[in-house]
Chain A
Amino acid sequence: MSWTSGSGTIAAGASTTWWFSWGGNGDVGPQLIQAEPTSSGELATTQLAEGLSSGHITYYATMQNQGSNTASFQWRGGGF
């Protein structure tokens, strides 16, 4: 099941980490999460993580803008 979530801009060379949460215990299995540029640019998704706290799983994704200009993006993902 694929999904899209959130959008924003990121400065050239910068990194940012976003978190993603679902209902219940938050567990939606392994998730591929990637930043999709919505303007010209090159975005690398550098790390995916899962955190467990108070019985709830939260997913984290970190991306880096590897281009020379500020870029717009949205997150896309999916699992099994």
Chain B
Amino acid sequence: MEGKPRIAPGGPRDDVRLVPPGYAVRRLPDGSYSVVPAPEAEGKGAGQEMPDDIVITPGGARPRSLVHQIEPGAVLDGTDGHYRMLHQSGEVLADFGVIDHASEGEPLMPRNVVQPPGKAPLGSGWICYAWWNRANTITSFSTSWAVPPDPATHNGLVYIFNGIQSSSMIYQPVLQWGNNGWFGGNYWCVASWYADSQGGVAFHSAPVTVNVGTELTGIMTLTGQSAQGFSYNCEFQGIANSGYPLQNVPELWQCVETLECYGMTAASDYPAGKVDMSSIDIQTGTANPNVVWTLVDAVTDVGQHIDLFDTSYSGHGEVDIWFGPSPYWEIGPGTVAAGASQQWWFAWGGNGDVGPQLIQAEPVTDPSLLATTQIAESRNTGGDLTYYATVENQQSAAAEFYWRGGGR
């Protein structure tokens, strides 16, 4: 970026960067330098204020100098690993240097989340997420969700997104609550991000404010594939300038649905209820692949969890992310063959008595119809209670399901 030379030890320099406490300078393969978090950052402690020059992006803490906005209408080009912002005419608007790309292996996130300095009372990073690795190149991935209610208290930073990632980069249409040190506040906004690992460079579109209840659709599409790499687009459907095209980058091969948070101090820093990541549609080539989500509850300190709701992957798929405990218990999954019945038993600690329980089978195979035909209790000679429920599959295909229940 253009700038007035500064006088540093050793004389005038074009590029002088602040290395904040807990960060180190890393030399990149092309000879350039990057500011990254130190392996064991010092100076962290509860209640410590966030340094002004740190931005908490999706993926965690980064020096502000490595966070770049892609201007509306511009393209982010990664030809040969050298990243530049290009005008549609091809003119170079900014040169961001080279980004290392790892070969396909472990996905970038959440193993490379960089925790911010200081320690919040509650867990941070990727809280709950679902992931699926493609067999063939992902050509389209979309998810719809409604903007949740505002959190009751305003200490935290909340990111909700679907995304596609590789071992090096993640591309994601992100809903944000809170200030990340660069933009945002006590309101919801959306932006698309393309970010690398270990507190490295991150690119985002201009943030756009959205209202509670607005139905969002985050969509990523493959727009091209050549010897130079893969080209994608990422945006919130129908929201102008909520994304930017990306061209000539390594393939992005893992789909994720994620709740990511920082600075959470209490359950009230989360929205109430849950967010339904719905209408999931994944395509590889022109087909809908058989998607099997792996669900991960990484942080559960206020009851956060992710549930599978609909295993469909051709427009009706859904996973639900709860910001706290659900009002009923859930056990599963199970699978029941077409026309078949299954009886399950449920046991709790102590003498097992949790009072009368409503227990029902919730289908997650779409379409399916499951009847809960019997609920029973038995007491053994030791005086312990066990509960039983029977599910009957009333359709002509096997169905996956969860048990849900509760009492008063």
Contacts and interface: CB of A to CB of B under 8 A. Distances in A.
Interface string B338-366: 00000000000000000000111111111
Nearest to A24: B276
B318 to A, nearest CB: 6
A27 interface: yes
Interface SS of chain B? strand
Given A25-B276, A30-B360, A49-B394, A54 B371 contact: no
Nearest to A32: B358
A8 interface: no
A63 B327 CA distance: 27
B406 A50 contact: no
Contacts of B279: 55
A51 B363 contact: yes
Given A51-B368, A54-B316, A80 B328 contact: yes
A2 to B, nearest CB: 11
Nearest to A55: B316
B360 A48 contact: yes
A26 B358 CA distance: 19
Contacts of B359: 30
B404 A30 contact: yes
A79 B328 contact: yes
B366 A52 contact: yes
A25 B404 contact: no
B367 A25 contact: no
Given A29-B404, A30-B358, A31-B360, A55 B310 contact: yes
B19 interface: no
Interface string A37-67: 0000000000111111111010010000000
Nearest to A27: B309
B147 to A, nearest CB: 14
Interface string A5-38: 0000000000000000000110101111000000
Contact of B278 (A25, A30, A47): A25
Given A30-B359, A30-B405, A48 B371 contact: yes
A45 to B, nearest CB: 12
Interface of B: 276, 278-279, 309-310, 312, 315-318, 320, 326-328, 358-373, 394, 404-406
Interface of A: 24-25, 27, 29-32, 47-55, 57, 60, 79-80
Given A48-B360, A55-B366, 11 more contacts: A25-B309, A27-B309, A29-B328, A29-B406, A30-B406, A49-B369, A50-B360, A52-B369, A53-B366, A55-B279, A60-B369
